[in-house]
């Protein structure tokens, strides 16, 4: 027995695993992508399980980042690597905490405008990183 089989909630037809285009809308901006899910060939109903919803959440974050002028997961990763920082170091120096960059780069968490702005500035002038390190050290000593 296939426990992953879904029956259509409307008409009881066995649903089929497929990729179909969906369009997300945010502040009047649209993003269309292929979303995996269980689809009913009879009425077009769809059911989305955990990882489908995660994919959908990531695409929504991508649309929000694009619409609001925040950095994309790929840009964040590229800038962090250019700065020679591990994900944990970036979370410590730039902000967000040790696990933040892992989530930004996976697309699971939208960066704040402050994080996005700081990275944009550091990308333009990587020397700014030394200022952050110095500040960090000074704060470390003071506490």
Which residues are near Zn ion by CB under 5 A?
Answer: 8, 10-11, 13, 40, 42-43, 45
| In the complex, least distance from residue 36 CB atom to Zn ion, rounded to whole angstroms | 18
**Which is nearer to Zn ion, 42 or 133 (by Cβ)?**
42
- Least distance from C-beta 12 to Zn ion, angstroms? 8
Residue 60: alpha-carbon gap to chain centroid = 8
Nearer to Zn ion by Cβ, of 39 and 104: the residue is 39
Question: Which residue, 40 or 122, has its beta carbon nearer to Zn ion?
Answer: 40
Which CB sits closer to Zn ion, 8 or 94? 8
Residue 128 to residue 130: CA distance in whole angstroms: 5
- Measured distance CA(84)–CA(39) in Å, rounded: 45
Q: Least distance from C-beta 19 to Zn ion, angstroms?
A: 18
Q: CA dist 105 to 31, 58, 72, 138, Å?
A: 19, 10, 8, 29
Handedness of CA 69, 74, 78, 80 (dihedral sign): positive
36 membership: H or E segment, kind and range: strand 29-39
Cα separation, 96 vs 123, whole angstroms: 18
Least CB distance to Zn ion at residue 76 (A): 40
């Amino acid at each position: 027995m296939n426990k992953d089989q879904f029956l259509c909630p409307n008409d009881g037809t066995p649903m089929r695993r497929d990729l179909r285009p969906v369009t997300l809308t945010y502040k009047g901006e649209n993003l269309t992508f292929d979303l995996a899910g269980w689809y009913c060939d009879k009425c077009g109903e769809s059911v989305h399980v955990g990882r489908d919803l995660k994919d959908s959440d990531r695409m929504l974050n991508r649309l929000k980042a694009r619409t609001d002028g925040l950095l994309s997961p790929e840009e964040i990763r590229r800038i962090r690597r250019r700065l020679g920082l591990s994900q944990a170091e970036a979370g410590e120096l730039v902000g967000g905490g040790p696990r933040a960059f892992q989530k930004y780069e996976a697309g699971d968490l939208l960066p704040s405008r402050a994080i996005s702005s700081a990275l944009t500035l550091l990308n333009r002038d990587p020397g700014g990183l030394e200022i952050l390190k110095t500040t960090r050290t000074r704060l470390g000593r003071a506490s």
